[in-house]
Every structure is written in structure tokens, then in C-alpha cells.
Amino acid sequence: MSVVILTPDPGDPSYAGQWPDVLARHQAALAKEGVASRSEAWTDHVESGARLAAAPLVLPLVAWGYHRDHPRWTAACAAWARDGVRMVNPPGVLSWNSDKSYLDRLAGRGVPIPPTIWADAPTQADVGAAFDRFGTDELVVKPRVSGGAWKTLRLSRGQTLTGAPEGPALIQPYLPSIETEGETSLLFFDRRFSHAVRKTPVPGEFRIQVQFGGRYESVTPAPEALALAETVLRNIDEDLLYARIDMTRDADGGWLLMEAELIEPDLYLAQAPDAGAAFARAIKGRLD
């Protein structure tokens, strides 16, 4: 039997030219370990997980676009848990990790994150207060439920808040290190470090995603970066087959957690020295 990899709604054109290549990399790595796989749209299994429960394992690794349909996503996660779908990462993790408020919970356990204001619906007054509170001339405003820098704004002091997230959001000081050093992602399979990738934006851009021209390169992470990633994982109790921990430096050179990506992160297998063998072995281990 084949493991199932969840993919976007076929009617969502947002990532139509991108996700098939990511899926192909996952499937190629699995095939080298003798693991057969097939894909199904996550939106075909919202009300019930009965059909997915027949699969030996379900991977939500390409379930992109859930942030645009978050109520259905959380309903689907509940259905998959209820119907006993053998899924990694598990449905409970997929649900809570879809809302960036988990960063506040990790911060409460001592994990360093950027200074953050949590707003129910950000207003111009919220932005003005954030500039004063953080003592900065640039801010980032992003939705609590987002992906791929969706509706993420970079604002200068005095700039009008236009196109702001309509619901709960977070406001943070802009970190200039994004432009100079970029963001570093550390990949783990079964909580064991696999590889790291540095992502840098093109000049004049702050978004590091490939759709905005971001450039990716394999790197050896600094010991402090690896230590932060391991601290993050120690503070997550659930079973994790894969995790991507994204971080960048603050003005003093310290590492800050930006995201703990546990749902559908690009695992950057193209930059992995083993081309994804560690990922595939972790999957095969669960099947065995």
C-alpha cells in the first residue's frame, strides 16, 4: 500500500506551478527507500478521515493553502483525529501549529522570539503604539494564520496601514538581519538534525520565499542556532516525525525563533546533502 501525501485544493491556483515539484522531491526520496506514495487533496477529506484511515501513513507535507481556509482546516484536523488516521505529524499538532500564537506559548517557556504585540485586528493606533513601544522605525505586521508571507506587511514610521490582516495578527519590529544574513532553517527528522538552509531575499525585498526571488543555500548552522532549535523541540511534547525550525539574528547577534514549521514546510530536500535519505528512512521506520 502507498503512503498518502496531502496536497492543495486543486481549485487553488496560488501554488499551482510550485507544489508539484516539491511533491516530486518527496516522492523521489521515498522511492529510493522502497516506499510507494500517492497524493490526495486535503480538501477531499474535511468532514471525514475514513478513507485516509485505510492508508498505512498520511503525510500532510504539501497541504498548502490551509491558511486561506482555516475553519475547514481545523475541522479536518479534528475529523482525522476522530477517525484514527495514522498521520505524521499528528492532527493535534497540525491544528495548533496553524496559529502563530504558539510562539507566545514557547516564549513563556523561555524560547527567545522577536518582541511581539498580539492584536485582535491591527489598527493604525496599534501600529503607532508599536513603533513607540519597540523604539524602531520599521515594523512587520502579519496574520496569526498565514503561510508564504501571505498578507505580511513591512511598514515605516508614518506609513498608513493599508491591506492589514483582517483578523488576529502579530506586530513585531523589523529585523534588518533578514536582509544581510537572511533566515536560517534547521531540518529535523525524528528529532535528529538533518541539514540547514540559509534563505536570503533579493535586494530591496524582505520576504525570503522563493516566489519573491529568495535564494537558498546549504549551510552548517552555528552551534547557538542548533542549540536554539533543540530547545524549541524539547518544548514540544507531541510526536514529531519532521520539523523545520526557522530563525534569524537580532541586533546583538542572538538567535530568535521565527517559526516552528510542523505542518507543510518545504523540507529543502534539494539542498540536503543526502537528497532526503534521512527523511525517507524516518518514514520507512514508522512503516516498519
| Assessment of whether the complete model's pTM goes beyond 0.85 | yes
The pLDDT of residue 16: 80
pLDDT, tens digit (0-9, with 9 covering 90-100), for 224-241: 999 999 999 999 999 999
Q: Tell me, what CATH number does 16's domain have?
A: 3.40.50.20
The pLDDT of residue 11: 87
Task: Clarify whether residues 73 and 200 are in a common domain.
Answer: no
Task: Point out the residues of the chain with pLDDT beneath 70.
Answer: none
Q: Please give the residue range of the domain that contains residue 170.
A: 117-174
122-131: string of b/e by CB count within 10 Å (b at 16+)? Answer: beeebbeebb
The pLDDT of residue 279: 98
Tell me the C-alpha distance between 60 and 282, whole Å.
15
The CA dihedral of 92, 95, 99, 101, to the nearest 10 degrees, is: -20
Tell me the C-alpha distance between 42 and 148, whole Å.
18
Task: Clarify whether residues 201 and 257 are in a common domain.
Answer: yes
Tell me the C-alpha distance between 225 and 18, whole Å.
29
Task: Clarify whether residues 162 and 141 are in a common domain.
Answer: yes
Task: Clarify whether residues 87 and 127 are in a common domain.
Answer: no
Q: Is 136 helix (H, G, I), strand (E, B) or coil?
A: coil
Chain centre distance of CA 277: 21
The pLDDT of residue 148: 77
Task: Clarify whether residues 10 and 83 are in a common domain.
Answer: yes
Q: Tell me, what CATH number does 199's domain have?
A: 3.30.470.20
The pLDDT of residue 61: 97
The pLDDT of residue 208: 80
Task: Clarify whether residues 137 and 168 are in a common domain.
Answer: yes
